[in-house]
Amino acid sequence: MDGTLGLENLSLEEPAAPRNASGANGGKCGRAEDKASLPSESGSTIPRVTGVPSVPRGSGFSVQKSALYSKANPQLTEATPVQYGRWNWTGSAAAKLGKAASKASRSSQATKAQDIDIVATPPASRKSPSLAFNNINTRHDNVNDIIHLPAPVPTSVYHSDARAIPTLLPSPQRLLLVLDLNGTLLYRPRASQNYTPRPGLSNFLKYAFANHTLLIWSSAQPKNVKSLCSRLFSRGQRQMLLGEWGRDTLGLTSAQYKERVQVYKRLDRIWANENLQRSHPDFEGGKRWGQHNTVLIDDSVLKASAQPFNHVEVPEFVQGGGEEVGDGRDVLGHVVEYLEEARKWSNVSGFLKQGPFKIEDWQKKAQGREQCGDDDQEGGVLL
């Protein structure tokens, strides 16, 4: 990409791993000081998949495109490890972070209610953005009726790889984007087939399909997921999706499937699926989808409990939420900016761990550009 999008306003405060659910402006306008110290590790390895819940096996390892998204409950296998190198921050956008990394190295040498889906208050360690324009009635009703299943806990290997220092890639990589539907890309009232697309959705999808690989993963019933996808995407876009996963892919028992339970989206179920792995653009060259190149975009923190540093949390989109493109509240537009930064680095989970997506920071950045009159000086992104 020709444009460079800065990280000046990203808060680098290291987020804590989510709790177990059962227990419960940049440039000349000034910059915020970075707060985090970066680790000193020189390399790490993508973890082999462990602790994956048992699910019915698929029928084979066909590489036909239809097989990439027709399996409702995918086959699980081990993912191939990928090595990381040393951090090589360059350019003004990452100058502060590079300085922090050097300092750290020297010191070391010394859910929402949809169908029967879930909405729950995120853990205190990773609070949802407090947005003035979201101060309205939402669909967070009867939250206390939710059955909280034990939350998966990130493994020590996952934490270790998230601390691995990423390298600046020669060219931006294609990411695997795992997209939620209701509350993230759109708003759909309960017991209704009508929906309201989030402002900026059309441009977001154009960008996403052009630069990344997409998988839909919703906790709604499969028939509702397919119905929404048939209207949300063009025929060509839908054919490009790796899958349209629904509630039947979440590892629930028959009883849990029918109950209002807290569900979790374990990305290792994707990484361990051989058919999905074959969709990697450089599969023949040995590349795979994994912790280093996958991003879950969802409005629920709890659903990302197993892999918290692969999660971009967006504020829940609700009808009448007041979001408008071009007024500083363009959530999906800010996500595009963030993804453009993330895809430049070899270890996406390390990037997200050190600088998680915070909508307030990106809104301040947009307001700062307006005040400074430099809206067009930072380049752009490919749509």
Is 307 in contact with 291 (CB distance < 8 Å)? yes
Of 138, 153, 146, 162, the residue nearest 315 (C-alpha): 138
* CB atoms near residue 367 (< 10 Å): 14
The per-residue pLDDT for 144 is: 58
Q: How far apart are CA 134 and CA 119, in angstroms?
A: 15
One-letter identity of residue 58 = G
Which two three-digit tokens encode residue 264?
Answer: 């979790």
Each residue's pLDDT expressed in tens, for the chain with a length of 383 residues: 444 344 444 444 444 444 444 444 444 444 343 444 444 444 444 444 344 444 444 444 333 333 333 334 444 333 333 333 333 333 333 444 444 444 444 443 433 433 333 333 334 334 333 333 333 333 444 555 789 999 999 999 999 999 999 999 999 999 999 999 999 999 999 878 899 999 999 999 999 999 999 999 999 999 999 999 999 999 999 999 999 999 999 999 999 999 999 999 999 999 999 999 999 999 999 999 999 999 999 999 999 999 999 999 999 998 776 676 655 578 999 999 999 999 999 999 999 999 999 988 888 887 777 677 655 555 555 55
The per-residue pLDDT for 190 is: 83
- Measuring CA to CA, how many Å separate 176 from each of 191, 262, 302? 31, 24, 20
The per-residue pLDDT for 103 is: 44
Residue for token pair 């063009």: 234
Percent helix, strand, coil in the chain (nearest 5)? Answer: 35, 10, 55
Which element (helix H / strand E) includes 176?
strand 176-179
The per-residue pLDDT for 43 is: 46
Ramachandran class of 329: left when φ > 0, alpha when ψ lies in -120 to 50, beta otherwise: alpha
For residue 250, what is the DSSP state?
S
Q: How far apart are CA 22 and CA 30, in angstroms?
A: 42
Q: How far apart are CA 216 and CA 245, in angstroms?
A: 6
Give residues with Cβ within 8 angstroms of 368, minimum separation 6.
9, 25, 26, 27, 29
Q: How far apart are CA 183 and CA 111, in angstroms?
A: 9
Is 89 in contact with 167 (CB distance < 8 Å)? no
Ramachandran class of 191: left when φ > 0, alpha when ψ lies in -120 to 50, beta otherwise: left
Domains and CATH numbers, the chain: 21-372 (3.40.50.1000)
The per-residue pLDDT for 135 is: 34
The per-residue pLDDT for 198 is: 94
Which two three-digit tokens encode residue 66?
Answer: 């239809």
Is 133 in contact with 321 (CB distance < 8 Å)? yes
Is 120 in contact with 144 (CB distance < 8 Å)? no
Of 382, 379, 332, 321, the residue nearest 359 (C-alpha): 332
The per-residue pLDDT for 363 is: 80
- Which residues partner with 294 through β-bridges? 176
Give residues with Cβ within 8 angstroms of 18, minimum separation 6.
122, 123, 125, 126, 151, 301, 302, 304, 305, 308
The per-residue pLDDT for 131 is: 35
